[in-house]
């Protein structure tokens, strides 16, 4: 069991979440999208398990995103087993086993792109456990420090999708994730975020290659606290929200 948050904190989290949910609905309506097709992923990295428990109890949230392997493993041990965890951070090869092998209720990994690591994720998963959904991370901004497959390496992307689909019995290909550049996220309302646009184009291209009747079978995870409304406008399935729900993260004492 996780410790309990204070009444004040519980109220604050619920109010923050309600505000975001209202903004998501408003953005969806404004851009002629069904609000039910947009999922909010609260990103709880560096925040205590009691915060997650509060949103679980009071707002019935079940999906949460974490960035660090050890932090996810520790939280998963003390929090309810029906939470659906999304791993969205950089994942070192030697941590894959922990994430896949210790967190039975791991719903997805959104931050892999290399075949070796994808294979390790698949091989580390117990066959009788729920399969893990994979969002391939795509580098849409061509920034060197960003990980992911380059958005213009279409054949490389297709190769990984086929690898997951045909050779990874414990994984399910779900879609694409991108972070995008800060520069693009700061653009004004009237300007399109080019990174998000590239991810949408990649999805459309893949849907054609796979001859999908419904291209929305490929899901997108893009948009964070500062740019989620633009991501909704462009067609995202998930928005990943940390700061706007949990407040600023305390970077002191972190590497």
Ligand X SMILES: *Cc1c(COP(=O)(O)O)cnc(C)c1O
**Closest separation in Å from C-beta 229 to ligand X:** 13
241 binds ligand X (CB under 6 A): yes
Residue among 9, 33, 45, 97 that touches ligand X (CB under 6 A): 45
186 binds ligand X (CB under 6 A): no
Q: How far apart are CA 220 and CA 179, in angstroms?
A: 11
Residue among 49, 61, 179, 220 that touches ligand X (CB under 6 A): 179
Residue among 126 and 243 whose Cβ is closer to ligand X: 243
Q: Which stretch binds ligand X (CB under 6 A): 121-129, 146-154, 200-208, 220-228?
A: 220-228
Residues 6+ apart with CB under 8 A from 177: 88, 110, 111, 135, 136, 137, 138, 148, 220, 221, 222
Q: Which stretch binds ligand X (CB under 6 A): 15-23, 51-59, 161-169, 242-250?
A: 242-250
Q: Are 84 and 174 in contact (CB under 8 A)?
A: no
DSSP state of 89: S
Q: Are 32 and 10 in contact (CB under 8 A)?
A: no
Near ligand X in 102-161, by CB under 6 A: none
Q: Are 242 and 38 in contact (CB under 8 A)?
A: no
Q: Give the interface with ligand X as residue ranges (CB under 6 A).
A: 43, 45, 67, 88-89, 179, 224-226, 240-244
């Amino acid at each position: 069991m996780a410790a309990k948050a204070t009444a004040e904190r519980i109220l604050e989290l619920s109010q923050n979440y309600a505000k975001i949910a209202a903004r998501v609905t408003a953005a969806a309506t404004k851009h002629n999208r069904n609000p039910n097709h947009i999922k909010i992923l609260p990103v709880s990295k560096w925040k205590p398990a009691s915060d997650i428990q509060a949103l679980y109890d009071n707002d019935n949230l079940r999906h949460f995103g974490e960035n660090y392997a050890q932090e996810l493993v520790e939280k998963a041990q003390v929090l309810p087993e029906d939470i659906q965890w999304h791993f969205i951070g950089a994942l070192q090869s030697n941590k894959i086993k922990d994430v896949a092998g210790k967190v039975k209720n791991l719903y997805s990994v959104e931050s892999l792109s290399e075949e070796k690591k994808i294979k390790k994720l698949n091989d580390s998963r117990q066959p009788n456990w729920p399969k893990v959904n994979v969002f391939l991370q795509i580098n849409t901004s061509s920034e060197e420090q960003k990980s992911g497959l380059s958005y213009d390496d279409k054949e490389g992307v297709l190769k990984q999708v086929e690898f997951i689909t045909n050779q990874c019995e414990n994984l399910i290909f779900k879609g694409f994730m991108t972070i995008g550049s800060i520069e693009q996220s700061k653009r004004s309302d009237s300007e399109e975020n080019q990174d998000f646009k590239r991810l949408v184009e990649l999805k459309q291209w893949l849907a054609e290659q796979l001859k999908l009747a419904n291209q929305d079978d490929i899901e997108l995870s893009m948009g964070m606290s500062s740019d989620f409304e633009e991501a909704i406008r462009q067609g995202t399935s998930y928005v990943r929200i940390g700061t706007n729900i949990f407040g600023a993260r305390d970077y002191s004492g972190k590497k």
